[in-house]
Amino acid sequence: MELIPAPRNVGAYGERFFELGPDTRLAAGAGTERTARWLRGTIGAATGFPLAPGDGGIRLSVHPTVTRDLGEEGYRLAVTPDTVHLVGGGPAGLFWGAQTLRQLLGPGAHRRAPLPGGQWRLPLTHIQDSPRFPWRGVMLDVSRHFMPKDGVLRHLDLMAAHKLNVFHFHLTDDQGWRIEIKRYPKLTEVGSWRARTKFGHRASQRWEEKPHGGFYTQDDIREIVAYAAERHITVVPEIDIPGHSQAAIAAYPELGNSDVIDTTSLTVWDDWGVSKNVLAPTDNTLRFYEGVFEELLELFPADAAAFSAFVHIGGDECAKDQWKQSPAVQARIKELGLTDEDALQAWFVRHFGTWLAARGRRLIGWDEILEGGSRADGTRAEATHAAGTRAPGVETADIGLPEGAAVSSWRGYQGGITAARAGHDVVMCPEQQVYLDHRQDDGADEPVPIGYVRTLEDVYRFEPVPPQLTEDEARHVLGTQANLWTEVMEDHARVDYQAFPRLAAFAEVAWSALPAPAERDFADFERRMTAHYGRLDALGVAYRPPAGPLPWQRRPGVLGRPIEGPPPNA
């Protein structure tokens, strides 16, 4: 069976089938309502069959024995000649099982209307399945290039089709602020539009000379969150602080270091890279962002979903030049009893970690939040594990993390290793392995080549858990995440190209119980991908074909930034 991601256990029984037809009924037990609704909306649309309520075909249920054996996200699927019984460990597990059922029906089940002459058969089988990691994420940057709401909803559907369950929503950066905050209307009136956009890498001299931008209204955000929840996907929002904040400073100049530069002259940044314009560490800035987060928490409520309490605060690539030059910032460092600008950033992060924790939320940030933290008097707070036991020889102040904070380890594995050893949860997303904006081949036709070559096989052999971690430390690895930064992805077709088919390989890494990287059967994965390309075609995904980019996917003459050689195992 050409299923992706590969299930844990599959039994196939002969050449017979269960046939769906216009009289096939759908019996939905308690706790299965979302999946029943989804099946009628997708399988029903693709087949033209109503899947009316009642016995005599497909039966959905949630059962504690599956929960006990396979967990909340596990499922069992049994197909006999007369019935299809799908049982989830919880509502999420049931939904992931429905995705498997859809794949078994063939590529046509991924269309929105029936094709003439279609046969709808399920092979007789028994499948038991559950995920390896609870956090199976995708980060989408909508700040560098805005993706309209319909594109985001489509992206969520593609995640669901691959059993990915955390959508990291990168909403703010130097190049654009994408979420409506009612108490600060200029964030979107000013901060959501830039005058022009660089085409290609930041060294390129090509520009698109027209305004670019857009934002999501609060009702748009509520819709996106609800749409994701229907598909058992948790949305983790990111508001980037204290760096990557030029769009916010352009809207509200008092947020910047006005004793160093004329912040009133700043505009939303139209270039790529790391802006030197960062937030000033004033009480006014703290109160401003507390107001932002107050509205954000209402839009992204914490509920029963496993990771709904998380809020991402960025924390990466905060240039310290202005802080070093600013008399006001140097006075602030002295006032707070801090040693230097790194410690000031750690103070900034800890402030919002404490603020979020008081409201029942958890801070997560890029691995730079590990840095800094020492006070001028040399005092240090000892790190603790989640269960409250001390992590021997590791101090929270040394790594700059507030208690309960989690780390997105992007600069390699080391940040995640350090955090896990200090008792903090980790999401592994090293840029050398799973930054899908990096190029897929070293051929001359690869569009806007960025970073290392990361082929489909490279992603398939990615291992999220570093071997340096002990078994107890490895329990802090919540899972893994693929990241899509959109500097050179101007629309959803370019996002599709960079994401697929590699995101299918990543989904298997995140879900399936694979052997060690060198022992993985990539030939079998490629065989299954042959069928999966048909599903992607039916879904309208503009993926990179195995033979290379199609003529309209190329970007001749657009400067990239390729890095030669294999990536370091950092």
pLDDT value for 395: 35
pLDDT averaged over every residue in the chain? 93
pLDDT value for 517: 97
Query: What is the bridge-based pairing of β-strands 75-79 and 172-173?
Result: unpaired
Residue 14's pLDDT band (cuts 50, 70, 90)? confident
Q: Averaged over 522-526, what is the pLDDT?
A: 98
- The predicted-structure confidence for 393-445, as pLDDT tens digits, reads as follows 333 334 568 788 999 999 999 999 999 999 999 999 999 999 999 999 999 99
175 neighbors 270 (Cβ within 8 angstroms): yes
Kindly report the number of other CB atoms within 10 A of residue 380's CB atom. Answer: 13
Q: Averaged over 540-554, what is the pLDDT?
A: 97
- The predicted-structure confidence for 283-324, as pLDDT tens digits, reads as follows 999 999 999 999 999 999 998 788 999 999 999 999 999 999
pLDDT value for 403: 81
- Asked if residue 388 has pLDDT above 60, the reply is no
Name the strand (E) or helix (H) holding 394. strand 390-395
Q: What pTM does this model have?
A: 0.95
- Asked if residue 236 has pLDDT above 60, the reply is yes
- The predicted-structure confidence for 337-358, as pLDDT tens digits, reads as follows 999 999 999 999 999 999 999 9
Q: Which residue pairs, CB below 8 angstroms and at least 24 apart, start in 526-534?
A: 526/456, 527/2, 528/2, 528/3, 528/4, 528/6, 529/4, 529/456, 529/501, 529/504, 530/2, 531/2, 531/107, 532/2, 532/4, 532/501, 532/504, 533/501, 534/106, 534/107
Could you tell me which of 455, 343, 474, 453 has the C-alpha nearest to residue 399? 343
Residue with tokens 């890494």: 509
Could you tell me which of 536, 432, 506 has the C-alpha nearest to residue 137? 506
Tokens in use for 73?
Answer: 């996200």
pLDDT value for 304: 78
Could you tell me which of 418, 391, 397 has the C-alpha nearest to residue 477? 418
CA dist 3 and 500 (Å) reads 16
SS3 of 208, please? strand
* Positions marked catalytic: 173, 244, 317
277 neighbors 322 (Cβ within 8 angstroms): yes
149-161 and 492-499 helices cross at what angle (nearest 10)? Answer: 20
H helices present in 410-568, as ranges: 414-421, 431-434, 456-460, 471-474, 492-499, 502-511, 522-539
CA dist 399 and 371 (Å) reads 5
Residue with tokens 């693709």: 46
Q: Averaged over 495-512, what is the pLDDT?
A: 98
pLDDT value for 400: 62
149-161 and 218-230 helices cross at what angle (nearest 10)? Answer: 10
CA dist 546 and 256 (Å) reads 47
- The predicted-structure confidence for 50-75, as pLDDT tens digits, reads as follows 999 999 899 999 999 999 999 999 99
pLDDT value for 396: 37
- Residues 6+ positions from 398 with CB-CB distance below 8 Å: 373, 374, 380, 383
Least trusted range by pLDDT, from 97-111, 114-128, 258-272: 114-128
Q: Which of 365-379, 382-396, 486-500 has the highest mean pLDDT?
A: 486-500
Q: Is the dihedral of CA 93, 95, 97, 100 positive or negative?
A: negative
Residue 16's pLDDT band (cuts 50, 70, 90)? confident
